Structure 1
């Protein structure tokens, strides 16, 4: 999602000030205060610096864990290529799911020209689009199928591209011969995948987590290999194969049903060995290149948060009240805009209001319930100053990675006497957690996100509906907190989404 001009202006001014530009007096910055809303009594420079340091520690830990899990995915994909068995395909899928667990907790660091959104901390040219952009241009990558409801040509079609398919023009979902995998004259390499998100409507996504997801799972269309019609989607869910099921072999088999034969030499009729013309080998090659690019992009972001890096040094160097307020603005903008615009609106309401399986965030793997949980958890992490690592066995409990427990915004509000707004925000975070936990629980019992958004299931008791409403309320309290702190900025970007999240059933413009 693009930053608004307001968000860019605020974030740019922040970094310029941090690197030695202007700033205000800090004469009253060491005072503590009560719930009065007076900025001179609630801005404590030293304590804001502690908040920023913890915020940076968490960012570095999360992106480090994202790199670690992406490298584990790379190893699993290499094993699968060397021995394309059903077990190794399932192992690769599990590695992808685990890789999502730390990364999604990082998305609260967006919307403020931090290393994920910017390389120079002044312009929005960062690698986020290459890492996690969606919806995917799946018809540009490999074969697809269409139906009259869930996956029409208007949803899957690519309006233009920069990789040479159809003369760099439009690719429709029923053009099975016009894709990268099938066009054997196109070399699959890093330069090719750099041509991602180049179309005006950004539907030509060919890199990042979701490109790997699509190649591993395929489209989530089938019920015993019969395309669903949009009303029988719940019948396509294999309830015996949901995450957390008794049978460990099938634990990761939900979502799309790409056949193993797509990866086995000889089945595609072109070759019995791994050579450049084999479609199975081209899929393996695509996965190899995509995961290598993903790792490089994640390492770039991680290094931007490392001790001694230019960005982190500027972010944590807080010596005046003006800079302290700018840092709080940045952190709250990530929390507020992710809450309302990006998560509640773009990632939930668009799909929920339109019953659009294509618009759910992880539509191939049926992992959208984790997208929601982990994005929301990242917001909570920023508030409480904690990071508990990631879930390595997908049972819902964090058990691996780096852990951080530092000085959070909750501690800051206690220290400066803003106890009323502290109670309100923590209540809102708890309400949101209750709602998104219910989405996760449904998915683990065989009712994933794409079933919850079906017309027959869409009502006010639906946990998706309740989570959207809770996130909207949460963002309002975050805005109230910014006002209490005397921050001269809107920390919930109204341009982040075209959805009215006060009404989850309303169609987004």
Structure 2
């Protein structure tokens, strides 16, 4: 998750002319009317993407309910597929963070929004259910929970352990403590610890309960698995990921509790996403969208452009390149990859980067319903948006040079993240690409981090070109030096 604290700074110098009026010595001649068109398109994309996120979360809940009604292997696989589809629209919304929009703020003034409940990671899996530790990725310093608000005590697993009623460590988990009622209020106690190892809600809690830990290594033999200690010597197939057995859902007591947890978490996800979506709904006089799209002065136009570029810039460099990629890449840490249980991190990367491009080009094609890696006519997209983007604003303002730089930056980033996607589909997911022997300057993860860094620099140049006088790429968003992807953060 890495909740970056952001204070938007809005300068007061004149920048933007009203309705395409005369040029200003403080910046290019940009009309307020054109800025308003950018804002309306940006809001329309947000509403469409969050609407699709709600729709797919509802479908995920339905698949989980079917699993609860009839715990079969087919229903478990259907629930997993529904989770993967649900990530497709949501991943494109991450660009709306870091600007006190509904995902990060309930009142658009302070950072108290539901993002932590929706997409927080790494997960506190050892607080939720049984885990298996080793002396590499899953040692106690990674998954041990030393602080939490759900009153189960410290959770510091000392090694592999079984699911037994008399196992003390398992009894310290939410699933194992049968006296704890699994409710939405319980799951709201998430990401409260300083190290955030107590994350227990959102997409990744559901992911963990569906897949389990990703400790299965495929070395070419179908029945060859390990406890994860020799991960660097294994090549893992994309189709394996975590291998939670169906018996985890059919077991007396604990199986029921896992299914209950899934249902409660899925409903809470729907409720949280619905609140965010409604903040972007059109035709509401007092929601975030109404305030965001209202532009009555040059200073307001400047502030709103700053907000958009801030989401684009911080997601590109500090959050995606740094927190979501380099931390795991530079240290070979499977626990620090975004979707470590499902091996879906390649899609997180692609979708987050696509969301940045969506904001620039004023387009949202919808989401990949059939999970083939492409959003096309076969996906029957209903909420697609094609409007007036920042690219149109630059074209109408005579800023062809910076527009060409941005086009080149987005194209290079897309080439690199699609190479990560292709590797995953060919059997080398993100957790294989970050292994020690694979970390080279030709690795597509390395190249994507570098191109995201360069992309953020051009976004900064754009802010300077527009005389925004604000840091749209927060230097404190990450401790990673994304100019050197091999350097540990």
> TM-score normalised to the size of structure 1?
0.89
- Mapped partners of 2:317, 2:16: distance in 1: 33
Deviates most, 316-325 or 45-54: 316-325
**Residues 45, 71 of structure 1: alpha-carbon distance in 2 compared, 3 angstrom cutoff:** same
2:20 is matched with which residue: 30, 36, 40?
A: 30
Contact between 1:39 and 1:484, CA under 8 Å: does it hold in 2? no
**Residues 296, 142 of structure 1: alpha-carbon distance in 2 compared, 3 angstrom cutoff:** same
How far does residue 42 in structure 1 lie from its aligned partner after superposition?
A: 3.1
How far does residue 200 in structure 1 lie from its aligned partner after superposition?
A: 1.3
3-state SS in 2 of match to 1:438: helix
How far does residue 326 in structure 1 lie from its aligned partner after superposition?
A: 0.5
1:100-499, aligned counterparts within 5 Å? 100-166=87-153, 169-172=154-157, 174=159, 175-223=169-217, 224-232=224-232, 234-235=234-235, 237-238=236-237, 242=238, 253-264=239-250, 268=251, 271=252, 278-307=253-282, 308=284, 309-398=286-375, 399=379, 400-499=381-480
- Mapped partners of 1:39, 1:405: distance in 2: 31
CA deviation map 1:466-491 (0-9, x unaligned): 00000000000000000000001000
CA deviation map 1:283-320 (0-9, x unaligned): 00000000000000000000000012421111000121
Contact between 2:15 and 2:468, CA under 8 Å: does it hold in 1? no
- Mapped partners of 2:422, 2:340: distance in 1: 18
Contact between 1:38 and 1:485, CA under 8 Å: does it hold in 2? no
Task: Give the number of equivalent residue pairs.
Answer: 467
Q: Which runs of 5+ in 2 are unaligned?
A: 160-168, 218-223
Contact between 2:17 and 2:32, CA under 8 Å: does it hold in 1? no
Contact between 2:216 and 2:240, CA under 8 Å: does it hold in 1? no
- Mapped partners of 1:193, 1:70: distance in 2: 17
Q: Which runs of 5+ in 1 are unaligned?
A: 15-21, 243-252, 272-277
RMSD across aligned positions (CA): 1.8
CA deviation map 1:435-459 (0-9, x unaligned): 0000000000000000000001110
Contact between 1:222 and 1:257, CA under 8 Å: does it hold in 2? yes
Contact between 2:58 and 2:270, CA under 8 Å: does it hold in 1? yes
Contact between 1:150 and 1:230, CA under 8 Å: does it hold in 2? no
Hey, what does 1:3 align to over in structure 2? 4
Hey, what does 2:162 align to over in structure 1? none
- Mapped partners of 2:276, 2:363: distance in 1: 20
> TM-score normalised to the size of structure 2?
0.92
3-state SS in 2 of match to 1:227: coil
3-state SS in 2 of match to 1:41: coil
3-state SS in 2 of match to 1:259: coil
Contact between 1:29 and 1:321, CA under 8 Å: does it hold in 2? no
- Mapped partners of 1:408, 1:27: distance in 2: 18
- Mapped partners of 2:295, 2:13: distance in 1: 10
- Mapped partners of 1:32, 1:342: distance in 2: 39
3-state SS in 2 of match to 1:196: coil
